[in-house]
Structure 1
Amino acid sequence: MLDPDRLRVADFYEWLGCQTIAAAQLGCNQSTVSRRCREARQLATGHSSVAQKDFLCLERAVHQRWRFARARELRLHGYRWIQPLLRGNLPESWRLNPAEVSVTPVCPLQLLGDHVIDALLAPWPVVAGLDRRRFALFPVYSTPMLLLAPAAGSLALQTGLGHAEIAGSSQLRRLPFVPPSAWDCTQQLDGQLFGTAATPSEETLVESRYWGMALTPLIRTDLVALPYEIPIGYGEFLVCLQDWSGHGQMERLLSAIRWVMAFESRDRPRLEMLAVA
């Protein structure tokens, strides 16, 4: 069996995808992260008759049980837009990923399935295809989608915008913290709404437009919602393995997240459209 320290370091590197960030989160130096990860791989190879990846997954399942049993160092991955609300408001047993690692090198559902992380907060496009026999899904909140543009741009100053005006003077762009599956969904929806309009000419000053929701302006204060109604909703969910869906630590996490969202939607005018599940 791999000792907790080696596997903990290897897990953080697998989760965050950067030795420097993993070292900062673990309170060690980068060379320690590199050495511990190498030792974990060597031990998995030298002491197992199964594939290295399968052995590490089995070891991680054991260590996950250790974390839940002791209510320590449980790992939650949340995307950039929800982090300002959650940081400092989670149960002490839970640890949130750093803000700079919103989109992970490895798909977060794979990290969850491999026992690297213990829970995930994600929008519907990320979790739409998950296996409900293995994963449990809990709704957290819902809110309408918004079309956003720079507050200093000309689009933000206009009223009564139609789809032709938006399509003809702006171009869809991706916010860097949006996961790939959500971006793919956004592109499809944007094409349905604006794809038939005339494309901007080279002479036209093209502004950026982004898809977001009530939480997006909290971290991108330079963006404002355009006066354009989008008949599409956004939902975010807490996901975990079915094995932990009824565990007290998971229930406490879900209650804490819902409480934070309810409190914020009451006191922040920007979140008045947010409905807590």
Structure 2
Amino acid sequence: MVDLDTLACLDGLIWLRTGREVATRLKLDQSSVSRRQRICAKSFGISLEKNDQEWVLNGDQTLLNLEREVHQKARLSGLRPLRLEATYWTLPLLCNPEPSGWIAGLSNLVGMEPNLSLLRRRICDAWICGLPDRPDENDPDLCAVPLCAMPLHLLVQADHPLLKQAHIRLEDLQQFPSLALPDGAYPIVERELKKLGLWNTPVHMSRYRRERWEGRSAKDVTIGYGHCLSQAVSGDGLVPLPITLPFRSGEALVLQRDLRDEPAMATLIHTLKERLAHLQPRFPELALAP
């Protein structure tokens, strides 16, 4: 076994990417983070290596995962802050200030799997996930608690040629490039937009970068996607096309099933819904979950 901060240094690098970010959240110096993660890796007979700017573990992690369960229970009991991931728009809108008893991550991981992996390994304790993508209802380990719903819009620059048309058909959309993340990053969104002939211009990024996403739409005729919350944060002056998509977006809190009834989770859900309620007058499209 290792102490709470020693394992936190190892898992913090996987979660937050740099020793500086880990040191800030754990209130340690960077040299302590480096030393403790090495001690932790040696204790479990594993190694931590960087692959494409992300830290990955090599070796048998069976004992490590058991240790993570124990440390998560310690966080739930209040011995250390719980760990919250979000999206780039819910981080400033719902996690500032951080909910009591929680620390928030960088909230820039792209795709379902990287975030779900953090939850499954109990490196993170909860994730504010954008809908419609979410874990399957029959997932044995994870569950999703709905927080709100809202329309998803197709976004373009203010002088986009499509805005000059009286009526926009699907065939008109298909004449323009539309943003697409790597295959499988957000499977449901990808499937639904491909049905419309969209999601056709790949953007390769494992961490969210504004200039590669909204920035593409802001400077050319590329079609992007967004809703009232993401638009409020991006600030790129994009405008929605006057067309209704056949599915909605929203937010849900994803967590381990065995944590669903923990008081800390109930308090977090209440806090997030309360903050969404405060945003509702500003964003009339926002519909709170029951």
TM over 0.5, yes or no? yes
Q: Distance in 2 between matches of 1:33 and 1:150?
A: 44
Once the two structures are TM-superposed, the CA of residue 66 in structure 1 deviates from its matched residue by 0.7
Conserved 8 A contact 1:91-1:252: no
Query: Which of 71, 91, 95 matches 1:83?
Result: 91
- With over 3 angstroms needed to count, the CA separation of the structure-2 counterparts of 1:186 and 1:241, relative to structure 1, is closer
In the TM superposition, residue 188 of structure 1 has moved relative to its aligned partner by 2.8
Who is 2:264 aligned against? 249
Q: Say which structure, 1 or 2, has more relative contact order (CA 8 Å, 6+ apart).
A: 1
Distance, in Å, in 2 between the alignment partners of 1:23 and 1:214 is 34
Q: Provide the residue aligned with 2:51 in structure 1.
A: none
Q: How many residue pairs get matched? A: 256
Paired position in structure 2 for 1:13 = 13
Q: Specify whether residues 159 and 7 from structure 1 end up closer, same or farther in structure 2 by C-alpha distance, changes over 3 A only.
A: farther
Aligned to 1:166: 173
- Say which SS state the counterpart of residue 277 (structure 2) adopts: helix
1:215-254 map, 5 Å: 215-222=229-236, 223-254=238-269
Where in structure 2 are the equivalents of 1:172-187 lying within 5 Å? Answer: 172-174=178-180, 181-182=185-186, 184-187=187-190
Number of the residue aligned with 1:208: 222
Kindly indicate whether residue 258 of structure 2 is the aligned counterpart of residue 272 of structure 1.
Answer: no
**SS in structure 1 opposite 2:223?**
strand
User: Structure 1: which 4+ aligned runs deviate by more than 6 Å?
Assistant: none
Q: 8 Å contact 1:144–1:231 — kept in the other structure?
A: no
**Displacement after TM superposition at 1:111 (Å):** 1.2
The answer for unaligned runs of 5 or more in structure 2 is 47-58, 199-218
Task: Tell me which residue corresponds to 1:40.
Answer: 40
Identical residues among aligned pairs (%): 27
Q: For residue 185 of structure 2, what is the amino acid of its counterpart?
A: S
Which residue does 2:203 correspond to in 1?
A: none
**Correspondences of 1:47-196 after superposition (within 5 Å):** 52-70=60-78, 72-99=80-107, 101-103=108-110, 107-124=114-131, 126-129=133-136, 131-151=138-158, 153-156=160-163, 159-168=166-175, 170-174=176-180, 181-182=185-186, 184-194=187-197
1:73, CA displacement in angstroms? 0.8
Displacement after TM superposition at 1:124 (Å): 4.0
With over 3 angstroms needed to count, the CA separation of the structure-2 counterparts of 1:140 and 1:224, relative to structure 1, is same
Structure with the bigger percentage of helix:
1
TM-score with structure 1 setting the length? 0.81
**TM-score, with normalisation over the residues of structure 2?**
0.77
CA contact 1:159–1:227 (8 Å) conserved in 2: no
CA RMSD of aligned residues (A): 2.8
User: Unaligned stretches of 5+ in structure 1?
Assistant: 196-204
* 8 Å contact from structure 2 (residues 87, 130) kept in 1: no
Deviation at 1:190, TM superposition (A): 2.5
CA distance in 2, matches of 1:5, 1:105: 27
User: C-alpha offsets along residues 194-245 of structure 1, whole Å, 9 cap, x if unaligned?
Assistant: 36xxxxxxxxx96111122221201222122111111211232112112221
> Is the 2:143–2:255 contact (alpha carbons within 8 Å) kept by the matching residues of 1?
yes
Distance 2:36 2:165 in 1: 56
Greater mean alpha carbon deviation, residues 111-120 or residues 213-222: 213-222
Task: Report the residue type matching 1:163 in the other structure.
Answer: L
Alpha-carbon distance, 1:40 to partner: 0.6
**SS where residue 235 of structure 1 aligns?**
strand
Which position in structure 2 is the counterpart of 1:201?
none
Q: Relative to 1, partners in 2 of residues 1:212 and 1:124: Cα closer, same or farther, differing over 3 Å?
A: same
